[in-house]
Amino acid sequence: MLTSALREMEKGNSIFEREIRKFQAPVCRIFLDDQGRIAPVVFTSTGQVLSAGNSAAARQEFSRIANAGGSRLLQARGVNPAPPSGKKVAVLFSGGPAAGGHNVIAGLKTALGKKNTLLGVRGGPAGLLAGSLFKITDKDIKRILNTGGFDFLGSDRTKIKTPEQFAQVKKVCVRYKLDALVIIGGDDSNTNAALLAEYLFAGVKKDGSGIQVIGVPKTIDGDLQAGRLLPISFGFDTATKIYAELVGNILQDTPSSRKYWHFIKLMGRAASHVALEVALQTRPAVTLISEEIAEKKIPLHKIVKSIADTVVRRYRKGLRYGVVIIPEGLIEFIPDITSLLKTLNELTAKYAPELNGLALDKRPEFAARKLSGSKALLFRSLPGYIQEMLLLDRDSHGNLQVSQVPTERLLIDMVAAHLKKNVPDVQFSPNSHFFGYEGRCGAPSLFDAAFTFNLGLTAGSLVLANHTGYMAAFTDLQKGGRVLAIPLTGLLNIERRHGREEMVIAKALVKTNSRAFKFLASRRRDWAGSDLFTSPGPRQLWGPAARQTPISVALNQGYANLNFEL
């Protein structure tokens, strides 16, 4: 009966979930042995030394892993003729979820094979510190294959930084007799992986040897990239395909109902990669790219005026609707806003007792009087709820949680005010949206399913080939794929964070001289003036529309088309 069939579908057994579990993601040919079975590979140095600004300092701070690999890029040479057995490897997720994480584990387990053991760490770095590990079985893998989310292990955002934490990790490694740790995470987590690789390099086990640490590049934000070596991090494609479908649906709605402007904020923290990719997929009237705004020093009132001008231009052509795409991190890139925020940080610290003594809605006037010139003008031009927000409590570093600012509402209100003042005859019916959590845990696109399974095979191969301090990488997806290992020391850089210098992997921002940005810039005036949008539709796992590389990746990598060939 239908009701019992529906009962059986509970707990991750929808029709879709059942079918995708039967699905073998495409694998790079180098992972196939003579008999066509998937097998781990060995690596050879390409001789290419990677450096990222301050590599000398990095090689000094990470001297043990740097000396071992010479910060040289590795590339897969062929199937491992005699993979070791008896290795114990633990894998963990770190940071926000991204589609394909489960396939990394599936690839890892496949590479390790039956003669080695894979343990899962529950609940991310905090779970590692707590020693919450368990053995991952083949049955587990069958259940999680091609599914979205990080729920199999769970994740968290704990940073392993203090000497006590490092010592604790070592203790857990010894307790579980681990030989290697695989850390699936973003830029910060891979920085952590480098620190752990260095710390655990030697002297951990009884025979004096160490614990290998391998990173796997994850983040939907797309800000962990390494040029031709790593075109993108995993999860970006699925997230942007989900957002692009929604934006495309809304775009299709605009000339259907003919009355709304939709302001859509997209997740992606600082970098605008997500906004750029979704814009390339959908061709909306307006796309804001934070990096361009910072570079060209465009003040807030000009952004508002530019959107309003587009609203008017379209309105006069009978197009009383449109879509504006806004990157999540925008507000921190608008020059006059960042300068105002800095002053407000000082001001709220200086006048904390006075401000706290005032009702919320009285604080803006108090603050406005303490500001002068253009800052006072800018502050007074903001809607009241934004003024109040900007005067709220700071975090422990004295900074405002700007991610909380509803930029999409701010822009709507300011554009509406601008239109009312300057072109009162123009009707403007706005709607706001924020797409974020919807895109992190969707079932992976075919691109991400393949990308992550191959990354997992790469990470497993690196472990079996006794490497440490590397990040698994996979590139050239348009021509069969190329398996690489990037030395983490080659990505590290000195940055000022929280008031002190730290060795970190720099976030990759959108470059205004990149092919992807330049293509947007070359087309956006036409997209603003008429309806040239596309609706990319729901991502397909089967059929003729399933194989699609992200457009920004294909452009920046110089691919000839959007098809990937594995």
Catalytic positions are 221
Binding to its own copies (CB under 8 A) within 225-254 occurs at: 242, 245-246, 248-250, 252-254
CB of 474 to its own copies, least distance (A): 21
Segment near its own copies (CB under 8 A); pick from 5-13, 131-139, 388-396, 415-423: 5-13
- Which range in 70-78, 211-219, 331-339, 551-559 contacts its own copies by CB under 8 A? 551-559
With residue 557 as reference, give the H or E element that holds it.
helix 551-557
How remote is the C-alpha of 131 from its chain's centroid?
27
**Cβ distance to its own copies smaller for residue 3 or 35:** 3
Q: How far is the CB of 388 from its own copies (least distance, A)?
A: 13
Residue 173 has a CB neighbour count (10 Å cut-off) of: 24
Q: How many residues are present in the chain? A: 566
What is the x/- site pattern for its own copies, positions 395-434, by CB under 8 A?
------------------------------------x-x-
- Count of residues touching its own copies (by CB under 8 A): 83
Residue from 445, 544, 450, 463 nearest 28 by CA:
450
Query: Using the rule CB under 8 A, is 532 a contact of its own copies?
Result: yes
Q: Are 72 and 487 in contact (CB under 8 A)?
A: yes
* Contact with its own copies (CB under 8 A) among 256, 396, 404, 513: 256
Distance of closest approach, residue 119 Cβ to its own copies, in angstroms: 19
Tokens of 194: 């480098």
Nearest approach, Cβ of 401 to its own copies (angstroms)? 14
Nearer to its own copies, 485 or 510 (CB): 510
Please name the amino acid found at residue 459: A
Compose the 279-308 pattern: x for residues touching its own copies by CB under 8 A, - for all others.
Answer: -xx-x-------------------------
**CA-CA-CA-CA torsion sign (272, 189, 470, 499):** positive
Strands 133-135 and 117-121, by their bridges, are antiparallel
Tell me: does residue 5 bind its own copies (CB under 8 A).
yes
| CB proximity list for 534: less than 8 A, separation 6 or greater | 248, 251, 281, 282, 283
Stretch that binds its own copies, among 178-186, 218-226, 447-455, 556-564 (CB under 8 A): 556-564
Phi-psi region of 405 (alpha: psi -120 to 50; beta: other; left: phi over 0): beta
Contacts of its own copies in 492-521 (CB under 8 A) = 519
Q: Report if residue 255 touches its own copies, rule: CB under 8 A.
A: yes
Binders of its own copies among residues 133 to 162 (CB under 8 A) are 147-151, 154-156
- Which tokens hold the place of 362? 């009285």
Give the HSE-up count for residue 80: Cα atoms under 13 Å, Cβ half-sphere: 23
Q: Rounded to an integer, what distance in angstroms lies between the CA atom of residue 28 and that of residue 46?
A: 19
